[in-house]
Structure 1
């Protein structure tokens, strides 16, 4: 996300709106916190995936990398190092060191991202592992590992599994949220132009993730209708998630394909909330 800070502020507004508008205890404070955490975690995972995709693209194919494209995501103040600069030779470990603070696109990150590649992410069975080391985004501490495995069956429809393990978010108030999940992702556009990322479109066709406050109840979000995410759009533009917890049950709807920050949450009792990210 280019403006993750705005997303964080927006989801807090969402939480307050849900709390003030619901009746019959649709959500309590714990559920609201989990919703905020879920939206924040999704935004951070998307940011790290996009960063990983870009540096993988720039540093795997040749020694002559496009530094401007890397800097547009990680910031000119970050230091990118590669353990193996030989083109198309793997495994390869790319480390992005944001130091004590590096800001780009209104996002301040510190700490490190470590990206381990077993091969080009477009190669069947190849893996990309993203690890966080003392890593912070706009003051939120983010922990956990994301692993992408290429599971392509049809050559012109690349497919990956994405698994988050040991996910942990510590917010600005010191609250801790644990998260984990697995999804299946397909690339449906841009396959014919492998050297261009901007025309790629990805679809999350299935999967579930859970978010729980430490020592508290959990929120489960499951893909109900395929989520559509274009590489050059900051937002999921289409698709639905089913939301379940002890009190908060309903559907998140991202719309019909427009690249905007709007979505709705419809509770099982029929209440509809028009929200923005």
Structure 2
């Protein structure tokens, strides 16, 4: 769920003990590239969700009960909607980042198509995110993300996030596929008229990454991941990472708004700092 400054991709490689794709768990080494791709999958899904929330807020599609602040979608992006009539759905937003549009250190290009079946905050409504020649800091991001509102208590909105046909292409040409389902709930800011005080938690679910050579990684929520709308980073929570090479815990810290996380590798008992 990070509105990240994507420089972490470069830092990630040096933050871990170096390794190769052929490393195995008994060697106690860490596949930093696989961790980076896993984090990219989460980050881009939540980045695009925020974009959808912003578009909905600016077009009377966030909620039928409260007004919301102006969106934070970059001014360099062109946003169009198939219809502007309040309460009429589906609404299809086309967000065109052109050949390069930068905000908060994140450069995007290409097009997002975001379809709302109803108000974002209403039970049963869906937000479907599709990518067309879409890049985030020069990494090609593909696949469809669907957020389905499953709220049963209006004071605690909740969504299921499902990623299908996910694909990430790195700058070196390496291609990774991914898929998974996670549950996200909003724990603060529900009753206010702004988005800035919203806090979201990823409370459960798994996500699987597949590497071209056949190695895999599955990350499972161990402790809820806390993401403040006003913070660029996930500030707290843990993921259990299990794969061909990785076996350990990724810990996002103690709710500080910073870019730091720690990976604990079970086979060798080592701790590795990660700069996001």
Structure 1 length as normaliser, TM-score?
0.89
- Alignment-derived partner of residue 201 in structure 2: 203
Contact 1:2 1:106 in 2 (8 A): no
How many residues align? The count is 266
**Distance of 1:35 and 1:189 partners within structure 2:** 29
In structure 2, the residue corresponding to 1:223 is in which secondary structure?
A: strand
In structure 1, the residue corresponding to 2:190 is in which secondary structure?
A: coil
Higher relative contact order (CA 8 A, sep 6+): 2
Counterpart pick for 1:25 among 4, 23, 27: 27
Question: Which blocks of at least 5 consecutive residues in structure 2 are unaligned?
Answer: none
Cα gap change, 1:251/1:2 in structure 2, threshold over 3 Å: closer, same or farther?
A: closer
Deviation at 1:247, TM superposition (A): 2.6
- Alignment-derived partner of residue 9 in structure 1: 10
Root-mean-square deviation over aligned CA pairs: 2.3
**Distance of 1:154 and 1:69 partners within structure 2:** 26
Of 166-175 and 214-223, deviating more is 214-223
**Distance of 1:168 and 1:61 partners within structure 2:** 29
1:57-99 alpha-carbon deviations (Å, 9 max, x no partner): 112349xxx9x944x433x232110001001211100000112
- Alignment-derived partner of residue 265 in structure 1: 263
Contact 1:152 1:160 in 2 (8 A): yes
Contact 2:4 2:233 in 1 (8 A): no
- Alignment-derived partner of residue 237 in structure 2: 239
Counterpart pick for 1:214 among 212, 215, 219: 212
**Distance of 2:147 and 2:61 partners within structure 1:** 19
**Distance of 1:225 and 1:218 partners within structure 2:** 22
Contact 2:81 2:93 in 1 (8 A): yes
**Distance of 1:255 and 1:108 partners within structure 2:** 26
In structure 1, the residue corresponding to 2:7 is in which secondary structure?
A: helix
**Distance of 2:139 and 2:89 partners within structure 1:** 33
Give 1 or 2: higher helix fraction: 1
**Distance of 1:140 and 1:69 partners within structure 2:** 29
- Alignment-derived partner of residue 186 in structure 2: 187
Contact 1:7 1:43 in 2 (8 A): no
Structure 2 length as normaliser, TM-score?
0.89
Contact 2:260 2:275 in 1 (8 A): yes
In structure 1, the residue corresponding to 2:48 is in which secondary structure?
A: helix
**Distance of 1:51 and 1:209 partners within structure 2:** 22
Question: Which blocks of at least 5 consecutive residues in structure 1 are unaligned?
Answer: none
- Alignment-derived partner of residue 83 in structure 1: 82
**Distance of 1:126 and 1:186 partners within structure 2:** 15
Cα gap change, 1:268/1:73 in structure 2, threshold over 3 Å: closer, same or farther?
A: same
In structure 1, the residue corresponding to 2:251 is in which secondary structure?
A: strand
Of 231-240 and 38-47, deviating more is 38-47
